[in-house]
Amino acid sequence: MDVRPGHFDEMHGSGTTVRAPYVDYQDWFADEDPRRLLKKSADAEALFRRTGITFNVYGGAEADERLIPFDIVPRILAASEWAVLERGMEQRVRAINAFLHDIYHRQEILRAGRIPTSVISDNEAFLPQMIGMTPPGGVYTHIVGTDIVRTGENEFYVLEDNARTPSGVSYMLENRETMLQMFPELFTKSRVRPVSEYPTDLRTSLGACAPAASGNRPTIAVLTPGIHNSAYFEHAFLADQMSVELVEGHDLSVEDGRIVMRTTRGSEPIDVLYRRVDDDFLDPLIFRSDSQLGIAGVMDVYRAGGITIANAPGTGIADDKAIYSYVPDIIDFYTGEKPLLNNVPTWRCAEPDSLAYVLDHLAELVVKEVHGSGGYGMLVGPAASKREMASFTKKLKANPSKYIAQPTLALSTVPILTRAGLAPRHVDLRPFALVSPDRIRITPGGLTRVALKRNSLVVNSSQGGGTKDTWVMET
């Protein structure tokens, strides 16, 4: 395999010697018939298609349903590497939950001058309706997906914190199930930590956050916007895996101060609502009056302690890209510790000096919308045309507070299977944390997203990226 100069390759490091986590896999791969592996790759695609593992891409007159490409070469992390990520994620998640409680209560971090008040007050992700509200168990972010990139042997950076309605965990689980079916001998040879407990852990964690009056067997439901949502497969998958109901807004109503769902047995109260509906659409009496996706009156029930909503409304302020640059301060303020995982250096374009720097160095930087996601609304300077840069210059000057900018990192590469053999491609990693009042569970692995195009840094599935199974070794 050719290792790309200037990039850390997770299989070969900076040279040609196979790194320790990949030694057993390389020995196995060297004995395999390439034609068999290509056939297995095609079989995996057929399996994904039969299972219905797709996502919707918007942009045309109708949503375009696509299969997420899956690469059969696993991404492998040593136990020691995972331990670093796990500790760093736990620290980050604890600090974010403390931050959310603070900004919806005493706002001590603003009083201390660690974050400008305008970053909160002028932010559309901040919900005044949550001021003074403490969710059951004090948990705001029940599920967090943290996007992490690697630039060297011991160099990891957090790209963003997904604290609203993080997606992708179903692909992590299906990727592992597919690999177990296709290559059972690999799991006999290598001691890989399992991810299959995630649905059980999710249900346990959500149940632990139920309102106090719900008893020992809280009723949990997954709220989906419906079949046309890009992540509907995941909503249905997780409801099925947890053995809970999958509901839409029209299935639910308020009765006697509770949220109830219609069933063949009559109305059944819900204690925990794992919502995959954005804040704006959650309650038409409070937010968007034209919403057909939420439940009229759910916020009143929530404020009265009659239901847990996961993740809590208003958590989006914590994964806003304008807030991202302050996370090291947030960690220091609430924990008294230095961050265990680095932030990517970030220029806040709302600040005149930062904007001037960004405009002068646009060809070197990645510029992102503060509220953007999925690889949309961004400029990758080194890959941009003169026309694209001219267009983005106008956008930055017209509305600088809408953007942040970051350097172009030399993302690590891992091998993918091609007809010519193994070839390096850039990746990121989204591990998932489950938060309950007494603990934080982090599933060993996560969703590895891979840029299937040579030299591309954009790994999002909506932009042509694929996924891999992520292995964390036991020792």
Summarised one tens digit per residue, pLDDT across range 49-61 is: 887 776 554 444 4
How crowded is residue 248: how many other Cβ atoms within 10 Å of its Cβ? Answer: 18
What would the CATH number be for the domain defined by 346-408?
A: 3.30.1490.270
How crowded is residue 386: how many other Cβ atoms within 10 Å of its Cβ? Answer: 8
Query: CB-side exposure of 114: number of CA atoms within 13 Å?
Result: 18
How crowded is residue 65: how many other Cβ atoms within 10 Å of its Cβ? Answer: 14
Summarised one tens digit per residue, pLDDT across range 63-72 is: 456 678 899 9
**pTM higher than the cut 0.85:** yes
Nearest to 67 by CA among 467, 469, 451, 413: 467
Q: Which residue has the tokens 């996502």?
A: 55
Summarised one tens digit per residue, pLDDT across range 389-413 is: 999 999 999 999 889 999 988 899 9
Could you tell me if 409 and 67 are in contact, meaning their C-beta atoms sit under 8 angstroms apart?
A: no
pLDDT, residue 60, reads 44
Summarised one tens digit per residue, pLDDT across range 287-314 is: 999 999 999 999 999 999 999 999 999 9
- What number is the average pLDDT over the span 158-181? 94
Domain boundaries, the chain: 20-344+409-472, 346-408
Beta pairing, strands 308-310 & 70-77: unpaired
In the chain, how many H helices and how many E strands?
14, 23
